[in-house]
Structures are given as C-alpha cells and as structure tokens.
Amino acid sequence: MFTQRSALRLAQRAAPVRSAAQRRLNSTQSKYPWIVDNEFNRERAAVKHHAASTSGTAVIPCLIGGGLNAYNLWNEHWEHWSHMPPLEERVEYPYQNIRSKNFPWGDGDKLERQCQLPQQGQGHLKSSVIIFPVTMSRSDVLIVGAGPTGLVTALWLVKQGVSIRIIDKAQADASTSRALAIQARTLELYRQLDIAEDVVAKGHKIRATNVWSEGSHRGRIPIGDIGSGLTPYPFIHILSQDQHERLLEDRLNSLGVQVERDLELVGFSENDSFVTARLRKHVDYKSEEEDIEKCEATFIVGCDGAHSAVRRASGIEYAGATYSHIFFVADIEGSGPSINGEAHVTMNQSEFMLLFPYDDNHRARISGAVDDTATGKGVDITFEDVRSEMTRTLKLQIDKVNWFSTYRSHHRVAAAFRKGRAFLVGDAAHIHSPVGGQGMNTGIGDAINLAWKLAAVIKGQVGLALLDSYETERRAFARQLVNTTDSGFNLVISQSYFARILRTWVVPYLAPLLAKIDFARHKVFQRVSQIMINYRHSFLSTGATGDIFGGDRLPWVPVGDVDNFESLKSITWQVHVYGEAKVDLIAWCQSKNIPLHTFCWDEKYRAAGLQSDAAYLIRPDTYIAVAEPSGNSQRLQKYFEHIGFQL
C-alpha cells in the first residue's frame, strides 16, 4: 500500500520521464476518457487532493506533474488536505469544482476540462491504477520554423530572458539553401549577439560584379567597400544559408535551447491570455488523431515559410501571384574566367543567371530562372537542362555538381502580420523574387523588430497595444520591397525589344560608369544593404533634429577610436548625446535606469545629420525613438507615458 507521501517521493524521482510519457498519455484519451488532458499547472492541486483521499490504490508516479515542487507544496499544505473526506463521501468529484478559496495557489475557477469525468456517487474508478493527469508544457513564445528567421527570433527572445520553444517539421537542418547574401544592416544587428564577426569570418566578401551577355564579358563593377563610411560592414557578404543556420543554431544551443525537429504544427486555438497548439511528431505518426501533443504559449510566431501553418490556422489571406518562370539553384565546383572570387551576372535575350563565389578558388553557387513555356518540364527540370547555357554564357568548366534544386517563386504579402496572439515573420508574411538578395535579411529584420516588443509585453512593461506597431512598421517595407523586386525581375525577364536592349547593351556598359560616382554608389548600397529602412511613420517615432528623425536608423559615425555603435550591442533602451548632456537628462536617465552615452562633439557628427547637445532615445533594436533637439528629458518622459511603457 502506498502512502500519500511515498507516492510523491516516487513522483519526484520519476519526474525526468514525465515529458516523455506525456505524449503517450495524450494519445490515449480516446481509449480512456477519464484521463484528463489538463490545461494549467493549478490542476496539480486537484491531483494531490485526489491522491490524499485514495488509499489501497497503486499509483503511477512517473506521470504526476510537479516533481519536487509538488512534494514541497504537499508538505506545506498538508493540514489543508488532511481534513477532506474520502472520495465516495464528497458532494462533488474533486476535478469538477475547484475554487481558488480552497487551494492556496488559486485560479482553480478558470479550469477548463476537455474530458467527461465520473460523476458524484460513482465511487472509485474501476481500474485499480489511477493515472494522474499531466500538465501541458508552457512557454512564453512558441516559434514555428527553425530557418534563419525562426532562429533569430529565438535568439533575441532568449537574450531578453523570455522562455521559448522552437519547433520545425523538417527532420534535420538544411544541407541545401537558396539565400546567400547577408546585408550590412543584418550584420550591424548581429553585434547584439556577438556573432557578426563570426559570420564575416565564415563567409566571402564580394570584390566586384561582372556583367555578361550572350557569352561575352561586357563590364566589371568594382564593389569592395562600396559603403565605406556608412556602416562598419561596407561590403556585400556571402554565406550559404545552411552554414548561416548552423552558426545561429550553435549560438542558440549555447544559451540552453534546442530546436525540436520533426515536429509539425497541426493547428492552435486562442483564448484571452494564451494559445494552445497541437503538435504532431512525424516519426511516431500513425493517424490524424493519434500522437498529438498539446502545449501552451503566451504567443505563437510563424516563421514557417510561404506555406505557413500559422498563417493558415489564423485564416490570414496571402494575396499575390506565382511567377511563370522556374527558378533553380546549383552548387558547383569548377574553373574558368568566372570562377575568380567575384560575382557574375549574365543577362541574355531569354534568361538570366547569377553566380556567387564561396571562395577565391573553385566553389560557387549559380541561380537563375528559365521560362516554363520553353522547357515544358516545370519544376522537374534537371541540371543537364541548364548546363549548356551555363557553360556557354559564363565560360565555365563544371567539374562537380554538389546539388541542384528547383522551385517556383511568388510575390505575395499577407493581409495582416498579426492576428490576436499569432504573428507572421519572414516568408510567412511576405515573399518575392530573389532579385537583390533581400528576402532572408527582411525576415531577420522582422524577427528583431518583433522580439523586443514581445519581451516587453511578456515582462509586463507595456500593454498588448505595443504589438500593433510590428505590422505598422514591417508591412509597409514589405509591400515596397515586393513591388521593387517584382519590377526588377520583370525587367530582367521581359521579352520586349526595349527590355532586351536595356539589359544586353545599356546596363552592362552604364553600370560600371555609375559605380565610379560616389553618390550613385552609396545610394545603391544604402538600398541593397537595408540601412535606409526607417520607421518614421510609426506611432513609436517622434521628433526631429536636422536631418535625423524619430524612426531613423542611428547613423554610424566613428571618430578616432570611438565607435558610437559600440553601446548598441546591448538590447536595451538607451540615450545618446553628441556634445554635453543636460543636468536634468542625466538625473532622469539615472532615475529610470536607462544608460546614457555621451560623445565629445566633432564635426563628423554634424556631417552625419546629428545635432550638438540633442538627446536621442534609442530603442532596443537600435532605431531612434525620440530625436529631441533641446536635450531635455521632458519629451522622453512624455514619450514613455504616451505609449504606456513602464521602465
């Protein structure tokens, strides 16, 4: 005969196997309707109540939720349990009317039941074994999708002390990839995780882009440090997505979080304070109804690509269209004039190809698009179907093909980036042609924009209304980007006489000339690198000082050994003053525990648009929230009051 205390001691020792048994328990509900799939940790109170009044019954301790915590609570409240009558003498079955006044940890009146339980008067369960209900896992944020966007979302949340769970339906991380370019703005933000230099060290810097047409080399556009003076990373950086993901996942693992792979989101439901997600493990898949695991999260974030399960479950429309062309990617090793460590683009009468090098020797990635009507094979085209055109137009000798893949591309923007407690990020929210290398970087920008806001809400610093700014700030840029890349791609593939002349004769000769003009070179770099993105239209942005507005990216201005981006490595609110800080501003920052960084005035700051002695309130994602020319603290205080943010 087990005593109540003995049962709980066994439960404590068996706690590590509880989560493994949980999935099996959930899948048996249809067979044993009296097994409760409970919703909250507070149901542990009823479990202990049940056990306290049951004697002569074998217990399966490995399924009880709580472990050491349950044992401690039992001891603490033993007197509370000991006076309760046996099960058969109670007016109500213990699970059916749990109230906070009866149980010290409360909130029992919010208990939701999913199974019909035995009614009063039915006595003990017929089985000689009582299985205790298992508490569902609960996290602050459930992230669906473990590509670069999902991993970045996880990293920024974990760094801010938010508990997360990240799942992916793929069995393993990708060994093939499409995205290559990591833009300067992404590298700037990667400083907050101290991974920017690792990304740079593992990748390849593009020195120049060569333009080809119909097998002839038409021009060379020097790139190098094309954005010199604008950013600490003034170059175009290439790192394959699979390597990029491994680096991000390794950093996430070092923070104590593992990606749960081969786990698919089936759907989710939402109430006022959390979502309940249904997950299915593919390895154990048997039928639609079996092997479903349930978990809870305060928010759910869909980073699960163009066919997003989160978007589908949220009922959000994904308006747009699919390009008629078939896109391909080939990872090759070879030799020839185009395997020289530089980028190459060929624009022919009917198709285009891009070659990006991994190194200076022999490895490269070639991507392109072919007209589906010309091949008639759709996505079933093979490498042999494009090999001859590659070798002819790029003068290639291909020695080895590591892998080859095809796909269709779309241009779409979701009707909303948020619905209740569900959010869409990256390709789940917007997708476009690969022209310009913007897709992955835009998704990463989405993730960082959302992460600090979720963290603030979860910590109770601000209300849910702050989360509306995510869609306001990111959807506007996504729409602009989709329109821009769509126009660029249509120009590249257009068969009109004007378009063919433009891409085969005008662009190849004009582009190298424009690249020699600093103004033109910088304008192109600012757009491609995403350092021009701003949130001036957001309700989180206010004020202006000269050329700098609330919502702008803080200009990078190195003066001697002083780098004004160094303090931005911290994911926190902070204030910058270029010149002398006002006394009241110093006192206000100290009282609010906001870091204040002052920089001795230099004319380089004026050249970048900054104003002497002005106060710049910087958001955790390094964008300017308030640009206050007076340098006083009153505007900053009113700003936090206006958005309802508690410091």
Which stretches within 530-633 are classed as H helix?
583-592, 603-607
Compute CA distances 236 → 229, 241, 510, whole Å: 15, 15, 21
10 Å CB burial of residue 275 (0-12, 13-18, 19+) is buried
Given a cut of 70, whether residue 413 has pLDDT beyond it is yes
The type of residue at 449 is N
Residue 200, H or E segment: helix 196-202
Given a cut of 80, whether residue 111 has pLDDT beyond it is no
Given a cut of 60, whether residue 236 has pLDDT beyond it is yes
Tokens coding 95: 């699970």
Tokens coding 271: 């109430």
Is residue 229 within 8 A of residue 238, CB to CB? The reply is no
Average pLDDT over residues 81-97: 38
Decide the pairing of beta strands 363-371 and 352-357: antiparallel
Given a cut of 80, whether residue 24 has pLDDT beyond it is no
Distance, first Cα to last Cα, the chain? 55
Q: What angle do CA 479, 231, 209 make, to 5 degrees?
A: 75
Higher pLDDT, 614 or 375: 614
Q: How far apart are CA 390 and CA 257, in angstroms?
A: 43
pLDDT of res. 436: 66
10 Å CB burial of residue 41 (0-12, 13-18, 19+) is middle
Is residue 164 within 8 A of residue 158, CB to CB? The reply is yes
234 Ramachandran zone, left/alpha/beta (phi>0; psi -120 to 50): alpha
Three-class SS state of 360: coil
Is residue 232 within 8 A of residue 563, CB to CB? The reply is yes
Q: How far apart are CA 537 and CA 550, in angstroms?
A: 9
DSSP per-residue letters across 157-173: HHHTT--EEEEESSSS-
Q: Which of 365, 364, 158, 188 is nearest to 249 (CA)?
A: 158
Given a cut of 60, whether residue 545 has pLDDT beyond it is yes
Compute CA distances 546 → 231, 627, 629, whole Å: 20, 10, 9
pLDDT of res. 176: 63
DSSP letter at 513? H
Hunting for tokens 């699919």 — which residue is that?
322
Give the model confidence (pLDDT) of 548-585 as tens digits: 999 999 999 999 999 999 999 999 999 999 999 999 99
Given a cut of 90, whether residue 332 has pLDDT beyond it is yes
Residue 458, H or E segment: helix 439-458
Of the pLDDT bands very low, low, confident and very high (cuts 50, 70, 90), residue 448 is very high
Given a cut of 50, whether residue 159 has pLDDT beyond it is yes
pLDDT of res. 211: 87
Q: How far apart are CA 270 and CA 123, in angstroms?
A: 35
Tokens coding 555: 């200009």
pLDDT of res. 509: 78
Give the model confidence (pLDDT) of 461-509 as tens digits: 999 999 999 999 999 888 888 877 766 666 666 667 777 777 777 877 7
pLDDT of res. 23: 39
Q: Which of 80-89, 173-182, 258-267, 355-364 has the lowest mean pLDDT?
A: 80-89
Q: How far apart are CA 518 and CA 520, in angstroms?
A: 6
Q: How far apart are CA 294 and CA 300, in angstroms?
A: 13
Average pLDDT over residues 156-164: 97
Given a cut of 80, whether residue 69 has pLDDT beyond it is no
Q: What angle do CA 410, 416, 420 make, to 5 degrees?
A: 140
Q: How far apart are CA 257 and CA 255, in angstroms?
A: 6
Residues whose CB is less than 8 angstroms from the CB of residue 369 and which lie 6 or more positions away in sequence, other chains included: 323, 325, 326, 327, 328, 351, 352, 409, 493
Number of residues written out for the chain = 647
Q: Secondary structure of 385-443 in the HEC alphabet? A: HHHHHHHHHHCCEEEEEEEEEEEEEEEEEECCCEECCEEECHHHCEECCCCCCCHHHHH
- The overall average pLDDT reported for the chain is 80
Q: Which of 522, 528, 516, 515 is nearest to 488 (CA)?
A: 528
Q: Which of 288-292, 440-444, 536-540, 588-592 has the lowest mean pLDDT?
A: 288-292
Of the pLDDT bands very low, low, confident and very high (cuts 50, 70, 90), residue 101 is very low
Is residue 168 within 8 A of residue 218, CB to CB? The reply is no
Higher pLDDT, 63 or 182: 182
Residue 109: φ, ψ to 5°: -70, -10
pLDDT of res. 54: 37
Q: What angle do CA 519, 568, 550 make, to 5 degrees?
A: 60
Q: List, in sequence order, every beta strand (DSSP E) within 425-546.
A: 430-431, 542-545
Report CA Rg, the chain: 29
Tokens coding 170: 């793929």
Of these ranges, 52-61, 138-147, 391-400, 490-499, the one predicted with the greatest mean pLDDT is 138-147
Higher pLDDT, 468 or 437: 468
Q: How far apart are CA 111 and CA 39, in angstroms?
A: 7
Give the model confidence (pLDDT) of 202-229 as tens digits: 999 999 999 888 788 888 888 889 999 9
Average pLDDT over residues 74-83: 42
Decide the pairing of beta strands 574-578 and 596-599: parallel
Q: What angle do CA 203, 428, 176 make, to 5 degrees?
A: 35
Higher pLDDT, 515 or 531: 531
Tokens coding 303: 């980073």
Three-class SS state of 275: strand
Given a cut of 50, whether residue 56 has pLDDT beyond it is no
Is residue 360 within 8 A of residue 415, CB to CB? The reply is no
Helix, strand, coil tally for the chain in percent (to 5)? 35, 25, 40
